Amino acid sequence: MLGISRTPCASGGRTVGIWRPRTRSATLDLMSHPDGDKHHFVPQSYLRRWAAAGEVRVVTIATGRRARGGVGVTAMKRGFYAVNSYAQDPSAVEKAFGSVEDPGKRVIDRIVNGKKGEAWPLSLDDRVALGAYIALQALRGPEQRRRMQSLQDDMVERETRLVEEYGAGKWFANHGMPLTDERARDAWDSEVGAGRSLVDIDALYHAQRIADGSDTAMNLFLSRYWRLVRFGTPSLITSDVPVSLNDAHDERGEWGFQNAPCISLPLSRTTALVLGAVYPSQSVGETEALLNGAFDSEVEGDDTWAKRLNARTIHNAEYELYFHPDDAALIPSELPTRNDS
């Protein structure tokens, strides 16, 4: 069954639940569930903040098409987290996410429902719970699996060039497997030459990457100063990639969790969390002050804030945007063409 470990983090000894698949065999891969369990890569409890009567509005970025979407069938792929080791419960991985989702949701509830000054800054426990929630959301989506596949494809292409230049025998020898040139070439062609990846980017691999990367991501989020932005009227949309690292006007490539100038997450139609730059703590005292919210702030959102946050949401989305039925005016008439796959 799926294991939950208790792993120390940067909170000075506090721990959060991290899901770690305990494999039962050496050959586990993504199960096909055409009619199977609905696996949500954005939590339903999160989407409900943009819903009316159980529905959100969905914009497909590639086409601009707008449609109604029930919360239960939006930001969902059947069998997305299903692995063969848990065939009797294809939703085991997604259920394990609940140990992080539920505490994070409670913190967001208090923030969204509280008035200015009531729920901010967060207590250390709440900060850790919300940091873990953001880390999970940043790692769990289909865009992460696509990026892993892209990195895998780039690696295969690079290694293929080396094989063509130096020979398959040299490649295998460099990896501790001395073979004759003929056997090495046959082995390479039977695997990579047949279009196979060196690593299967499947649900199990993704779950393991979430387990391996969640502590690092959370610690990087906790080491930033946090700003809560509150709007007097509904002003925000969200997407299938709610955690945004890049601004629409960025001229460089994609930022990472460590070097992104800021990281944003809409919490509701009227609240957003913005994580500023990583704070260069010089002492234990400064670190404790950071973790206890000494450098955090709460600001009133205006039109400039709304435009920037929504532009980030649109720019970082993979395929879809989500908004409340009353907020159609927040969706621009022109959407980016980069998401046309």
- DSSP for 180-206, please give it: -HHHHHHHHHHHGGGT--SS--SHHHH
Within-domain flag for 335: no
Q: Could you give the number of structural domains in the chain? A: 1
Neighbours of 19 (CB within 10 A): 23
Residue 102 one-letter amino acid: D
Of 58-67, 79-88, 329-338, the one with minimum mean pLDDT is: 79-88
Distance CA 168, CA 186 (A): 9
Q: Strand 320-323 to strand 238-239: parallel, antiparallel, or no bridges (unpaired)? A: antiparallel
Could you report the per-residue pLDDT of 152-206, keeping only the tens digit for each?
A: 666 667 777 777 787 777 878 887 888 888 887 777 777 676 555 666 667 777 7
3-state secondary structure of 100: helix
Q: Which residues contact 281 (CB under 8 A, 6 or more apart)?
A: 223, 287, 290
Within-domain flag for 341: no
CA distances (Å), origin 81, targets 43, 143, 204: 14, 14, 8
Q: Quote the distance between the C-alpha of residue 281 and its chain's center.
A: 26
Within-domain flag for 339: no
Distance CA 168, CA 320 (A): 43
Closest CA to 139 of 81, 57, 62: 81
Within-domain flag for 254: yes
Average pLDDT, the chain: 79
In degrees rounded to 5, what are phi and psi of residue 17?
-75, 130
**DSSP label of 49:** G
DSSP string, 244-298: B---TT--SS---TTT-S-EEEE-SSSEEEEEEEEP---SHHHHHHHHTTTT-EE
Q: Quote the distance between the C-alpha of residue 33 and its chain's center.
A: 23
Within-domain flag for 47: yes
Within-domain flag for 337: no
Q: Is the pLDDT of residue 338 over 60?
A: no
| Contact present, 135 and 41 (Cβ < 8 Å) | no
- Burial (CB < 10 A; 0-12, 13-18, 19+), residue 48, is middle
The range of the structural domain enclosing residue 211 comes to: 3-330
Neighbours of 300 (CB within 10 A): 10
pLDDT for 143 equals 75
3-state secondary structure of 62: coil
Q: Is the pLDDT of residue 59 over 60?
A: yes
Q: Is the pLDDT of residue 290 over 60?
A: yes
Q: Which residues contact 183 (CB under 8 A, 6 or more apart)?
A: none
Distance CA 84, CA 20 (A): 15
Of 53-67, 153-167, 327-341, the one with minimum mean pLDDT is: 153-167
Across residues 330-340, what is the average pLDDT? Answer: 76
Q: In this structure, what token pair is assigned to residue 3?
A: 């294991």
Task: Count Cα atoms within 13 angstroms, Cβ side, for 129.
Answer: 18
Distance CA 243, CA 260 (A): 12
Distance CA 132, CA 267 (A): 15
pLDDT for 302 equals 96
Within-domain flag for 336: no
Distance CA 192, CA 190 (A): 6
Q: Is the pLDDT of residue 277 over 70?
A: yes
Q: Is the pLDDT of residue 16 over 90?
A: no
User: Binning pLDDT at 50, 70 and 90, where does residue 27 land?
Assistant: very low
Of 1-15, 126-140, 241-255, 294-308, the one with minimum mean pLDDT is: 1-15
Q: In this structure, what token pair is assigned to residue 302?
A: 């205006």
Q: In this structure, what token pair is assigned to residue 187?
A: 């082995």
Across residues 77-103, what is the average pLDDT? Answer: 70
Within-domain flag for 187: yes
